[in-house]
Amino acid sequence: MKKTFLYILILISTCMGAKGQAVGDSIVASLLTCSPGTKSYSLYGHTGLRIRNLTQGLDLVFNYGVFNFQRPHFTWHFILGECDYEVAAYPFDAFVEEYAHRGSSVVEQQFNLTPEETNRLFSLLVINCQPENKVYRYNFLQNNCTTKARDIVEQAVVGEVRYEEAQEHPTYRQLLHEMTEDYPWSEVGNDLLLGAACDTVLSDRATQFLPGQLMEYAARAQIFDEKNNRRPLVARTSVLLEANAHQRQLASQGGWEPRVSPLVAGLMALAAALLVMLVEYLTRRQLWGIDILLMLLQGLAGVLLTFMLLFSQHPTVDSNWQVWVFNPLPLLCIVWVVKCAIRQQRCLYHYLNLLVLVLFVVLMPWIPQTFSALTLPLALVLLTRPVSYLIRYNRKPKEA
């Protein structure tokens, strides 16, 4: 990798003048849009900027989606939302080969820039690749590999890039659902973590965080100069690589996606919980081992959501109403609940739990957040436990 990057810098240096401007006017700049892959990290597609110097034979892709797994405490920083990504330059052939291996398509939109603007874009990209400039704080929804590419192109243009206004304005969640339509468990994961702010209606510019969205907006965008003369941002569009279904299937091997949908899984869990209630009613016994399992799972999920809400810098996680149901409190009450169950004593926790869960289920239609397909079934599963205990509390003792 270091040798490749050094080779690229040598190539770039031969094409740059003393003032950092590209030599000659034979440079062509393009936006590359790669269709989604099959892995969780590739479901949203990718964006790159291609720079070709037709005179020097230079053909590079500048990629703002590079991250370093070797960074100390990478996973911890990722959870905190302190993800530092980098921009790097790669040979075009290597870039396309990676997406051919995934079975993804690659669409090229050649910019309609003047030689001055193209040279400026090239210079800005080279400056961005310097060690002191290449790292940036990544934000999945607002500052990612796609928005960085858009922003630097706008910076290079002499004038202003204006995008055609869309007829409909979606939310972040609606756009993410479009990308995860065939991957329901990935969709559920997003919905469990992303809060109410993810359901805010977006501006045209905000929707451009996804590669496919930026490609569509770029196709209709216009550049306005100081005299209000306009020209299309994109001169021509071509498909460099067609999507390959067979290769996508090969690339997806080794991944794991449950065959049961989240909704079906949730309903199966609810059916099992109702069966447990029936057994408890008929046997007049409380299966407090079920309480331990559910309270552990509920509490651990609550620890994650509460931590994300309070400490993570990831966007929209600080407005998650599901913390109402999934919070750390059950972890603190397990011993109390089990002790009361063994002694066959009433437990205040069940009354409080019943109140919270009933309020959440009843008010769900009015809560300004779109919930995952699992949220309601899981809430009902949890609700069966206090209901079962309250039925026992109010039953008459069995006659001898």
- The model's pLDDT over 231-286, given as tens digits with 9 standing for 90+, comes to 999 999 999 999 888 787 777 766 666 789 999 999 999 999 999 999 999 999 99
CA-CA distance, 263 to 145, in Å (whole number)?
33
Which residue bears the tokens 């569009």?
A: 237
Beta bridge partners of 52: 28, 59
pLDDT of residue 184: 93
155 pLDDT above the threshold of 70: yes
The domain locations on the chain are: 2-166+204-252, 262-393
User: What average pLDDT does this structure show over 43-57?
Assistant: 91
User: What average pLDDT does this structure show over 36-52?
Assistant: 91
pLDDT of residue 8: 54
Residue 385 confidence class, pLDDT cut points 50, 70, 90: very high
Sheet strand arrangement including 84-91:
135-137, 84-91, 58-67, 46-53, 27-34, 106-111, 234-241
CB atoms within 10 A of CB 276: 18
Decide if 244 contacts 252 (C-beta within 8 A).
Answer: no
pLDDT of residue 361: 97
pLDDT of residue 384: 97
For 45, left (φ over 0), alpha (ψ -120 to 50), or beta?
left
- Give the tens place of pLDDT for each residue, 79-138: 777 788 899 998 999 999 999 999 999 999 999 999 999 999 999 999 999 999 999 999
**Can you list the positions of beta strands (E) in the chain?**
27-34, 46-53, 58-67, 84-91, 106-111, 135-137, 160-162, 222-224, 230-232, 234-241
211 pLDDT above the threshold of 50: yes
Mean pLDDT estimate for the chain: 89
pLDDT of residue 83: 83
CA-CA distance, 46 to 54, in Å (whole number)?
25
CA-CA distance, 123 to 104, in Å (whole number)?
30
pLDDT of residue 73: 66
Decide if 1 contacts 66 (C-beta within 8 A).
Answer: no
pLDDT of residue 7: 46
Q: Which of 65-69, 195-199, 210-214, 364-368 has the lowest mean pLDDT?
A: 65-69
| Distance of alpha carbon 231 from the chain centroid | 34
387 pLDDT above the threshold of 90: yes
316 pLDDT above the threshold of 80: yes
pLDDT of residue 376: 96
